[in-house]
Homo-oligomer: A and B are copies of this chain.
């Protein structure tokens, strides 16, 4: 019974013929041009209804030079932070008539470059970009050359590029987490972070150092571990930190992936949280309330990042000359109990 192939679509000419008007009139009617009289418009709309006509996006794109779609370039959609951003992006775009191409670079610069090319070929109206490149002049220059269209940087800032950006307050997030631990009396606080070459990493480390300094605690590089976005590696880092002689009494894990690894590492060692080790994480990890006591985390406003970024991108598309905006959204410390006063 079911059709499995492609059904031929009605075109504007079919509609025009049926309504007894020209294709120009159909076009103007569709695009709400006031030049068509209400009577005619009604006739056109009826014909559209009857034929099941839907405008061909390709033809429209060819004519207008730009497609009704946006590109979302991230490293990995299974990262909950990116998934939440993606959901918000897609819903906001959909509401404004745009489709969203999703691109997972897996942190590979070459993949990112390929996607930029692909998005250019697709004539997408604009790009939401969480770049995997390091924050240096060379990468900035290459990006500027390769992007060549409206773009909003999301989640991961690039200091050398004066483009619109929407990021969370990374310094503030790390500061809040670590200050919380310091206030509880902790003085040796381990830091388990993600990819060290991202600005984001510098910023979170900066927040960590600042909170330590405010507590009169000397920075000890031996307590800092950074690595890739794999729980396994974060677990290994955690075990290493906790195996040392002068082991930390608390650990800060700087994102959803690393905090997962941190908790796994602690579980493997059989240590009790928070009795033997206090923990603070980042991100609204779904399982925060499943572990007992609940995981204290600094929550990023991922959905807001996505929604705001779409707004800003559409503004940029509408007016390429407007001055760039840089939005830094605040984070929120949610205290649940995985960090306790130092005994």
Contact = CB atoms under 8 A, between A and B. Distances in A.
A209 interface: no
Contacts of A332: none
Contacts of A118: 94, 99
Contact of A55 (B90, B100, B121): B121
Interface in A59-111: 59, 61-62, 66-67, 69, 76-78, 80, 83-84, 86-87, 90-91, 94, 99-104, 106
A313 B61 CA distance: 25
The 4 A-B residue pairs whose C-beta atoms are closest, nearest first, are A5-B320, A58-B61, A287-B287, A7-B148
A117 B54 contact: yes
A4 interface: yes
A158 to B, nearest CB: 10
Interface of A: 1-7, 9, 54-59, 61-62, 66-67, 69, 76-78, 80, 83-84, 86-87, 90-91, 94, 99-104, 106, 114-115, 117-118, 120-123, 144, 147-150, 161-163, 231, 260, 263-264, 267, 285-287, 289-292, 316, 320-321, 324
User: By CB atoms of chain B within 10 A, which of A2, A84, A267 has the most?
Assistant: A2
Contact of A4 (B1, B267, B324): B324
A87 B82 CA distance: 12
Contacts of A117: 54
B57 A121 contact: yes
25 contacts: A2-B144, A2-B161, A4-B321, A5-B149, A6-B150, A6-B320, A54-B121, A57-B67, A57-B122, A58-B62, A58-B67, A58-B122, A58-B123, A61-B61, A77-B87, A78-B80, A78-B83, A91-B104, A91-B106, A94-B115, A99-B122, A100-B102, A260-B286, A267-B290, A285-B287
Nearest to A259: B290
A78 B87 contact: yes
Given A56-B123, A99-B103, A287-B287, 12 more contacts: A1-B144, A2-B163, A5-B149, A7-B148, A54-B117, A58-B123, A59-B62, A61-B61, A94-B115, A100-B101, A101-B101, A260-B286
A96 B286 CA distance: 34
B69 A76 contact: no
Contacts of A99: 101, 103, 118, 122
Contact of A84 (B78, B100, B123): B78
